[in-house]
Amino acid sequence: MSGAQPLRILVVEDEVLIALELECLLDDLGYETVGVAGNRAEAVALGLSSVPDVALVDIHLVDGPTGIEVARALGADPRIAVVFMTANAKRIPDDFAGALGVIAKPYSERVVASVLAALAECRAGRRESLSAIDGFTPAPRGRA
């Protein structure tokens, strides 16, 4: 990443091994993980207190399919870009609950890296949208 502050990322994932793998990937890519949450309450509290640049949110968490509620709560803050990472894409509502799009599980490191790089470019004003990223399905009318 070019001299700019690295993206600060919240991981919302209840599967410990997936969360650890994702944290390692984010670290390798030069991003800062602000925390990991496995349920709705933890995710919303951590997201609102740390105000990450990006929240990577699974839909089905330890307390049920509450990732959609997490996306709505965090996505209401224009400073937080929400991206779903899920194998349950059919559960995403038509409005994407404020999320910018979805990375399908099982995800590839390449797709995660491409989406995060594009988000960083959007934040820096060097990119208009997250469309045309292979392996990423953008929301019909995303915020980025």
**pLDDT tens figures, 91-134:** 999 999 999 999 999 999 999 999 999 999 998 888 888 888 98
CB 59 within 8 Å of CB 91: yes
Q: What is the mean pLDDT of residues 29-53?
A: 97
* pLDDT for the residue numbered 5: 86
The residues with which 36 forms a beta bridge, in sequence order, are: 11
Q: Would you list the domain boundaries of the chain?
A: 8-138
pLDDT bracket for residue 144 (50, 70, 90): very low
Specify the pTM. 0.93
- Write out pLDDT tens, residues 70-103: 999 999 999 999 999 999 889 999 999 999 999 9
Query: Under CATH, which architecture does the 8-138 domain have?
Result: 3-Layer(aba) Sandwich (3.40)
Instruction: Please state, in angstroms and as integers, the Cα–Cα distance from residue 9 to each residue in 76, 90, 93, 132, 140, following that order.
Output: 16, 24, 23, 22, 23
Beta strands in 1-144 (DSSP E): 8-12, 32-37, 54-57, 81-86, 101-104, 136-138
List, edge to edge, every strand of the sheet that includes 54-57: 32-37, 8-12, 54-57, 81-86, 101-104, 136-138
